[in-house]
Structures are given as structure tokens and as C-alpha cells.
Structure 1
């Protein structure tokens, strides 16, 4: 019987962890891991955190040691991409024109930053953050300090890079069209907490306005807001979200809608093709809905889940979404979904002003999201509350003397 070949399109965290899992689960066939970057697979959180702040070395971000792939007989192809999928022939064609047959295919192609298409958007000095090279270039731009930095977007990337820019001693202005930072992710209640945090650290927050354009002669020198203000800028960081990289799936005729549509086993509309990580819009049985999650934990856990499903194991990927962030002296972990419209109440436990608390988002009396801020070792209990789906007593929920485990 011919040796099976599993191809992974995307040498990302999800792709690398899938390859690792295939070997751990005893798969002895050929594993081909294909990535368009020349950097071997790495984790992305350090790009806006430790690596950008010059607190962590580049090597710490890598998923595996350099020799891991050879030792585990994973054919790692860097600097090359999958150009097309021929589903009928069970074959992918690389950007080098080389064809590779597959028995199973995993799409781990991730997402790309949304571009700000306004006048002047091609000027030098405007940065997007997605790759290790992007982070290295941004660090070089910020590290001298004394620069005028404008951040477009007060989402997670925008706020983390704003905090990094301030840590280097730069003047920072953040422009955000919503009424609060992180409004689309957390709502106004927690948005106000992060607004106060950044203002206390000297960030000029310009809310309820967007970016209308950029000025400069080759190099950006100012940002023009939708309100007509002109803000001097030496460095601009654009963090306005990301789009899933679905071109391959679309051209192959797979079902796509805000990502590659997959079932609870991360299987696409083609039974031999799977998708994981940022690119996958997956049905989550716990939430009884589709979600596309761009956070680190989804790639970390989704890649292995897809690998097991590719091996024919019975897989149900129903994890509670999880995310973490570090900004100045604030560290937080977020579990669940807390976007406006998904909840009807926010309950706080602890010292909000002192930024040592847990926030719970509730819908119909049930916890749907939880964020622990400078409070640790509670994520398991928070996620258990979400998974239980049971109504909680909000008085006890707000009481730090009541163990969270007693509420599950």
C-alpha cells in the first residue's frame, strides 16, 4: 500500500502543531509543511509583546527547535506557498510549479491585516503587524524613542503596540472610530477600563473618529482624522483587524464565509480537506454557532484537533475561546465571547480602579465571557462557568469571598 501524504498549507503555529501531533499520534506517512515566509514556524503573541518590547529573543517565538523538523521527518518547505488545489486529483501546486499529491490536506493559511485604503496610505513609515519581519521593522522604528507615533485602531494590536511605543519613550496618539477602545470586542464597560489605562500612561486617545488620510513627501509626516484634525507623525501603526486568507479555498470551490467553513471536526465541505486557526470559521457545539477566532490559543489547540481528525479520530472541537494581553502593568486573560449584543449585563468582582479584578459578561443570567485582570489561576473556573451554561447568582458572583468553583 502506498505511503500516505498529509500536506499542511501554512507553516503557522496551527500548521506546526498539527505536524507535531501527527507524529505524536503515530502517523508514519509523509508530512509536508509549506510556508511562504522564510522564517520557520513561530508564535505571534511575542510580535506585539515580548519581542517588540525587546524583552524576548527571536528564538523564543519559534514553535520548535531548528532541527526538530528533520528529526521528525517533517518536510518543511519555506519561502514557498501553495498556489492552487486540485481537489479531483488530490494535488496541490506550489508557487514553484511543483505538484504534490495529498491524501489529506490542512489549510492553516491564517489571516492578513486589513489595509487602510486612504490617500497617502503608501507612504513610508506606515506599519502593519503580522510577521516577524514586521515586528522587527516596527521595533527598529520605535526603539530610538522621542518619535511621534500615531496608531490607527484601538483593538488588541493597536493597544499593545501603543503600550510598546510608550515604553520606548515615544509620544503616542491612538485614533479609533468607536466610542471606546476594544468596543467591538468587549463593549463599553471594559473599554472604559482600557481607555483610562492608556490615558494614565500618556496616550492621547482620539475616539469617535477615523483616519481620513496621510500627509508626507515620501515619508509619512502627519495623519488626518475624519474630524479634520492633522496629527504630526513620524511612525504610523495600522491595526484595524484582519481578513482570513481564503483565496485557495475559494478557488478550489470549498464553502467560504468569513473564513473557510468547517464542522466541529474542522473538516471542510471536502472530506479530505481540513482548516484550522485564523482561517477557519468553525461550528462550535458548546456555543451552538459558528465562530472564527484569530487568537493564539485557537491556533495552538486547533492545529492538533485537525491533525487528529485527519487521522480518523472522533474529534469535537468545542473549546471556550481564550486570549491574553499584557499592556504596561496590566495583564489579563479573556475567556468566552463578550461582544456587544452577546450580553446584557457585566458583573465585576474585585478592585476595578486598582485593576485587580474579574469581569463577567452575562446573557440571561448565564456567564458567556470572563476576564481576569491581574488575578491569576482562575481561568479554569471561569471557563467552567461558561461551559456549564447554568444561571448564576450575581451577588455571589461579585463576592470575592465566594470561590468561583462553588458557582459552577
Structure 2
């Protein structure tokens, strides 16, 4: 009897790394790759940076070519959505009416932008930035002259978009609900550095305020803030974070928390169902809790780990997270998570404006931020990697 295929749902970097790993690791049976976007897998980081600035073309973001799927005999179902699944029957159901049986299933569903439930949220000119279509639509709309743009959210994406659009000559106002930008991920010193950087480039930043109403007839014309101020604008970009895609998992009865819950081998609570990438919440010995990471590094590494687990070669997945952000001529590099730090040290770099911040908890370094200071970043990251390896091996041996 023919074995059912391995099915990978999600055609982002995580899903692509998974199918690539499966084929390169010797899996030669039927492999099906499903995603709701029309495109072959592409890089998402350039969407808020080089692509939005017009510095790179669409084709240069592709992770592969159509020939790859033919050469490795991978069946692709693009522009296709999985509407439901029956984990007990090892079956998924598609929006075209078909159903597929699987031997192993990987959910690499990613995340979606968090929305705003306020009056006027459906007006024309209100944008989100998650997919290539989002970026193409926004970029095309902004090609006609200078625009007055309001960006909601002072996290990585909001700041990267602010920099990209300011470089294109648009008028930018950015609002942040907290008392500082990047407040959830970096120390005040790094926040203030980037606030000064954006103000120097002409971005207006308003803190401790949120939008309460979008104003306009068919198209956005202004925003009313909780402070009472009304800001005129013709374009809005909502960048208030993402939420994991867990609807399919919930409907199938899988365990869900902040993401689809998996064990250290990327296995969900259902037999033969795995999850990885932005949608997956996994146990971290290093941080003593379940974590969910939204990063290219995690998408690639966890996609590979999940594939190996599906092939019967599981390894404990507990990585050192790392991230980066490019804004104007500044590169921010982060390794680790700074949550819960009780001490920090700031070290000046060799070049003007360069510095690093190291975060400690109970005497142990847990994270580093570096501003245009790559050498110091790599040294700190290596120290964190060695510490992680020791702690992981110690925890595994005690199990």
C-alpha cells in the first residue's frame, strides 16, 4: 500500500527550508507543499527595507526558482488555503474542495498582522505590511508624488518602514503607545538612540498615544489620537505586531498557547503533526519558559529541525535567538532575549556612534545589542552560544 505523503503547509522561509531539508536528507517519497500566496517562497525582511525603497527588484527576493520543485519532484499548491484538518484521520481539507491524507504534517503557518478595531479602519489608504502583495500595493500607491504618512507602532517594522519611506521623501509621523520606541525589546539607551536617529532624519515621533478614530469619506484623510490631537495624512501603515496563525490548530483540537504548542522536537499534541516558525511556541531551557520567535533565523533553523524530526532524527531545539534591523545607515544586531535583565553594561565602539549593550541576569549575560559594532556583537554572541550549549547539555543530562 502506498504511503501517504508528507505535507508542509506554509510557503514562507520556514516551509521552504523544511521541504529543502526533507529532500536533501534522503526523503524521496511524495512531498506536497501548500501555501495561500501565489508566489514561490521569497524573503520577507526586504519588504520593509530595500524593496520598499525601490533598491531591489521582486525577483531578487525569491528563495528559489520554479525549476527547483520540478527537479526535486515536489508537488506545489500555491494560492491554496487549508480550511480544516482532522488530526485523528491524518487528513486536511482545502478551499478547492479537495482533501489530502498525510503521513506527517508540518504547520509552518507564520503569523498575520494585528489589526485595529476602531472607526474608519476599513478606509482606503490604511495598509498593513506582511506579504509581497502588501508591499507592492503600498509601493505603487506611494509612487505618485510625496505623501503624508502616519505609521502606527514603534517596533522594528514601523521604524524600518519609517526610514525607508523617509528616504523616498515622504512626510512621516510615527506614533507609539509606550513611553519609548522599541520598549519591549531593547533598553532605554538603545530606544533613545533610535528616536534621535529618526528625528534627525525628519520623522515626527509621538509617544504615549494611540489612534481612536480614522477620519475620511472613502479614503483616509486624518487620524484622531487619544491625546485629542488630529493628524492629517493620506496614508496609514499599521505596524503593531503580529499574531500567530493558530486557527487551523484550534479547529483540530491541538494545544495552543501563544502559538501552536510543540515540544523540544517540534511535535504538537497531535500524532504526526509538527509546527515550526512564527506560529510555534516551544520550550526553552535557557529562558525557563515557552517562547515564540518571529525571525528569519528561527524560521530557517526550526524548519530544518522539524524536518529532521519527521524523518526520525529528532534533536533538541533550543536556539540562541538573534535578530537584526537596518535603518538609514545604522545596523542594529541583537543576540539573546533581554527580558528580565537586572543589570546592563554599555560599551563604546571604535567608530563614532557605535556602541554595544550587554544585559545580565543573576550575573550571567543573557543578551547583547550592538549598533554599528559588528565585531563586538560577534564576540558577545559567541559567548552566549557557548553558555547556551553548556546549559542545554546540562539540562539534557539531568532529564
User: Shorter-chain TM-score: which interval?
Assistant: over 0.9
Aligned equivalents of 1:379, 1:29: Cα separation in 2: 43
Aligned equivalents of 1:218, 1:319: Cα separation in 2: 47
Aligned equivalents of 2:317, 2:253: Cα separation in 1: 24
Which residue matches 2:381?
Answer: 383
Which residue matches 1:304?
Answer: 304
- Shift, 1:378, TM fit: 4.8
| Structure 1 pair 353–211 and aligned structure 2 pair: CA distance change class (3 A) | farther
- Shift, 1:72, TM fit: 0.8
Aligned equivalents of 2:20, 2:130: Cα separation in 1: 23
Tell me, yes or no, if structure 1 residue 334 matches structure 2 residue 334: yes
Instruction: Verify the 8 A CA contact 1:145 1:168 in the aligned structure 2.
Output: no
Q: Helix, strand or coil for the counterpart of 1:163?
A: helix
User: How many equivalent pairs are there?
Assistant: 388
Aligned equivalents of 1:110, 1:102: Cα separation in 2: 20
5 Å-filtered alignment, 1:8-407, equals 8-339=8-339, 342-351=340-349, 354-389=352-387
Aligned equivalents of 1:11, 1:330: Cα separation in 2: 31
Q: Helix, strand or coil for the counterpart of 2:172?
A: strand
Instruction: Verify the 8 A CA contact 1:144 1:168 in the aligned structure 2.
Output: no
| Structure 1 pair 38–216 and aligned structure 2 pair: CA distance change class (3 A) | same
| Structure 1 pair 103–380 and aligned structure 2 pair: CA distance change class (3 A) | farther
Aligned equivalents of 1:310, 1:76: Cα separation in 2: 19
- Shift, 1:287, TM fit: 2.8
5+ residue gaps in structure 2? 389-399
Q: TM-score scaled by structure 2?
A: 0.94
Aligned equivalents of 1:133, 1:355: Cα separation in 2: 36
Instruction: Verify the 8 A CA contact 1:264 1:285 in the aligned structure 2.
Output: no
- Shift, 1:235, TM fit: 0.9
Q: Deviations over 1:312-357 (max 9, x none)?
A: 1031111111111110010121111124xx1122211214993312
Instruction: Verify the 8 A CA contact 1:152 1:240 in the aligned structure 2.
Output: yes
Which residue matches 1:405?
Answer: none
Q: TM-score scaled by structure 1?
A: 0.92
Instruction: Verify the 8 A CA contact 1:330 1:355 in the aligned structure 2.
Output: no
- Shift, 1:185, TM fit: 1.6
Instruction: Verify the 8 A CA contact 1:209 1:225 in the aligned structure 2.
Output: yes
Q: Helix, strand or coil for the counterpart of 1:184?
A: coil
Runs of 4+ in 1 over 6 A off after TM superposition: none
Instruction: Verify the 8 A CA contact 1:286 1:387 in the aligned structure 2.
Output: no
| Structure 1 pair 378–99 and aligned structure 2 pair: CA distance change class (3 A) | farther
Aligned equivalents of 1:345, 1:281: Cα separation in 2: 27
Q: Deviations over 1:343-396 (max 9, x none)?
A: 122211214993312211111221111122212255543223224449xxxxxx
Aligned equivalents of 1:144, 1:367: Cα separation in 2: 49
- Shift, 1:41, TM fit: 1.3
Aligned equivalents of 1:114, 1:291: Cα separation in 2: 19
Which residue matches 2:396?
Answer: none
Report the more deviating stretch, 184-193 or 377-386: 377-386
Q: Deviations over 1:237-270 (max 9, x none)?
A: 1000111110110011100001000111111112
Aligned equivalents of 1:189, 1:262: Cα separation in 2: 35
Q: Deviations over 1:281-319 (max 9, x none)?
A: 011233332110111111111111110111010311111
Aligned equivalents of 1:345, 1:144: Cα separation in 2: 49
- Shift, 1:188, TM fit: 2.1
Q: Note the aligned Cα RMSD (angstroms).
A: 1.6
